[in-house]
Amino acid sequence: NAGVTQTPKFRVLKTGQSMTLLCAQDMNHEYMYWYRQDPGMGLRLIHYSVGEGTTAKGEVPDGYNVSRLKKQNFLLGLESAAPSQTSVYFCASSYSPLANTEAFFGQGTRLTVV
């Protein structure tokens, strides 16, 4: 039972490079989320999706784009990486927040932008 899987686990980028983080869940969850975690800041929501083909902005969306072409996958893109985007990124999914259900998190992707 894989749950939520994030790829890659570690990455170093140069300023201005682009990359895509992949999140895959095998629990048939409708809702998926991307958070970033910085020291002393907790987790902050970047973008989220309430279903296949839909996305919405969270608290800190600038510099990121997302896509949800398939229900099980949620992609986070950085078009032109900046040092301020150095962070640990977590993907999460839940069956339905309307039922106050648990959010399941991936193991995280540690991204360093130099």
Q: What are the residues binding another protein (CB under 8 A)?
A: 4, 31, 33, 35, 40-45, 48, 50, 56, 58-59, 90, 92, 97-98, 100, 102-103, 105-108
CB of 41 to another protein, least distance (A): 6
Q: For residues 83 and 10, give the distance between their C-alpha atoms in angstroms, rounded to a whole number.
A: 15
Q: Which is nearer to another protein, 7 or 15 (CB)?
A: 7
Q: Which is nearer to another protein, 19 or 45 (CB)?
A: 45
Task: Spell out the residues 6+ positions from residue 62 whose beta carbon is closer than 8 angstroms to its own.
Answer: none
CB of 44 to another protein, least distance (A): 8
Cβ–Cβ under 8 Å, residues 34 and 24: no
CB of 20 to another protein, least distance (A): 19
| Closest C-alpha among 107, 65, 70 to residue 89 | 107
CB of 54 to another protein, least distance (A): 10
107 alpha-carbon distance from chain centroid: 11
**Pairing, β 109-113 against β 10-13:** parallel
Q: Which is nearer to another protein, 14 or 42 (CB)?
A: 42
